Amino acid sequence: MTTPPAHGPSYYVRTLGDTAVVTPLTDLDATLADHLRDDLMAAAAAHPRVLVDLQAVKFIDSAALGLLVRARQEARQHDAAFALIAPSPFVQTVLHTMRLDRAFVSYPDRATALGEASTV
């Protein structure tokens, strides 16, 4: 399944086996979080693994961070794994400052995340 970029802020959701890969194509702010919310929460509820590929994300605001936290909680309620791919130094700093760096599993790139996901 692929959800093509919608009008306005863009992202896509791709299903690779039993893993949903959610890929924002720009910074994660409140506007993108509003567009992304339903698809991310649905992925967290429906797939045993959810990866959020942050390679294109250089900035994240509190609304988007809150969405990631809620999606992680949704995944956990369904016994699903939830991880981030390639968070930028800024995103890593925000996660650390908010003491969420240990709450999220992070991978340096998509290949590593998908390889790890296939062995879990």
The mean pLDDT of 47-53, rounded to a whole number, is 98
pLDDT of 5 > 60? The answer is no
What pLDDT sits at residue 93? Answer: 96
pLDDT in tens, 59-69: 999 999 999 99
Total-model pTM: 0.88
- Concatenating the DSSP letter of every residue in 31-74 gives HHHHHHHHHHHHHHHH-SEEEEE-TT---B-HHHHHHHHHHHHH
Domain with 22 in it: 2-113
74 with 44: CB under 8 angstroms? Answer: yes
How many domains, the chain? 1
**Which residue matches tokens 């879990």?**
120
Contact present, 40 and 12 (Cβ < 8 Å):
no
17-33 residue pLDDT tens: 999 999 999 999 999 99
Q: Is residue 120 part of a domain?
A: no
Contact 28, 66 (CB under 8 A): no
Whichever domain contains 35, its CATH number is 3.30.750.24
Lowest mean pLDDT among 22-26, 30-34, 87-91, 115-119: 115-119
